[in-house]
Amino acid sequence: MERLSEEELAALNDVNIIDYARASGIDLKQDSATTFRGVDHDSLVITPSKNAWFWNSRDTGGKGCLSFVTKYQLDGDNISDKVKFGKAIELISKTKLLPKEYRAPEKKPFEFDKKQVSPNFSKALNYLTKTRGLNPNIMQELHRQGLICENRFGDALFLWRNPENRRQIEGLTKQGTTINHAKFGKRGTLKLIEKNSTPQRGFNFDVDSQGRINSGEIPENIVFFESTIDALSFYNTHLNGAKSVRLVSLEGLKEKTFEHYVIQLSNQLSKQGKKLNSVSLGVDNDDAGQKFVKDITSRFSKVHYLKPTFGKDWNDTLKHQRLVAKKKMLARQQSLSR
């Protein structure tokens, strides 16, 4: 291959990663107003405004298209780094994409479309309780309070309500309730953040000192999770111990979202002459989660890690507890029948 000049290499590296991925058949989905996420590898996060990417599960990333192709697309190829780099140049050149500055879509305030809400809740409830193992009474209560609902396709909608004014909806997460691996890849279900959802926000709810949900009492503790399902699962496994706590989904691993909710709760408590008692992370027990915990605790030494006690995440823990309880009940029934 003819040796390229520094200017030519820079031009190839400046090719927008999103444009390249689309031209090369690499499936991506918009994760938020500012990021995209991989479909085959959902720990891949691309920030097009910076033309940067990070592969959380491999703890690697970089800036520019050459970096993306070499370290991500060609990751599984058993060839030397030098050969990979040459192959990356060929792949980008073939797309004939001209480098161009990414223009972020115009930011609009989030508007919740009430028309998408179905009067039914059966499909979402069945998925959350049967597939995910969540307590049906808690799901019904959250539905009654307008935190979880169902759209006309049967998808579960998790509404991001502002803790300071729960009439204000700041965004939502949409979770599919039917399995379709051909359409949705390894995950098997639809999962996305609604367009224009407010950055640095996520699904959240409060549990007061009496165990009541969103009673208006300002909690003195806060726990963060990667997803709504994990937040709900943790609450299900700690029904007698989760008191005076705000449970928040980061909708991923987002430090800015973490900082926003810590500051917001601290300010709410300060107005009542109180202080925040504890801050904890309940993120996944995998490489990406461990890195996030390390990053956060290196900056905030008093943050605790509430590691899932079984499996990768708190939903694994919940389903394991349900299975153990079911086996014990069956064993007890068999013992009584003898």
On the question of pLDDT at 57 being above 90, the answer is no
How far apart are the C-alpha atoms of 251 and 45, rounded to whole Å?
13
Phi and psi at residue 9, to the nearest 5°: -65, -40
Question: What phi and psi, each to the nearest 5 degrees, are found at residue 55?
Answer: -105, 95
Question: 6-95 — its CATH code?
Answer: 3.90.580.10
CB 262 within 8 A of CB 303: no
pLDDT tens digits, residue range 131-185? 999 999 999 999 999 999 999 999 999 999 999 999 999 999 999 999 887 766 6
218-239 pLDDT, tens digit each: 999 999 999 999 999 999 999 8
CATH assignment, 117-328: 3.40.1360.10
Q: What is the pLDDT of residue 102?
A: 46
pLDDT > 90: what percent of the chain? 71
Sequence ranges of the domains in the chain: 6-95, 117-328
Of 151, 158, 159, 160, the C-alpha closest to 123 is 151
* pLDDT, tens digit (0-9, with 9 covering 90-100), for 100-124: 554 555 678 999 999 999 999 999 9
Report, as an integer, the average pLDDT of 261-266: 98
Domains 6-95 and 117-328 in one fold = no
Highest mean pLDDT among 29-38, 128-137, 321-330: 128-137
Nearest to 191 by CA among 227, 216, 141, 137: 227
Dihedral angle computed from the Cα positions of residues 132, 135, 137 and 140, in that order, rounded to the nearest 10 degrees:
-20
pTM above 0.75, yes or no: no
CB neighbour class for 335 (10 Å; exposed up to 12, middle 13-18, buried from 19): exposed
Report H helices in the chain.
6-13, 17-24, 65-68, 81-95, 122-126, 136-144, 181-184, 228-237, 255-270, 287-299, 314-337
Task: Please report where in the chains the tokens 């792949």 appear, as a residue.
Answer: 91
pLDDT the model gives residue 2? 55
User: Once rounded to an integer, what is the mean pLDDT over residues 294-321?
Assistant: 96
* Amino acid code (one letter) for 292: F
* Tens of pLDDT, residues 89-100: 999 988 888 665
pLDDT of residue 97: 85
pLDDT at residue 227, as a whole number? 96
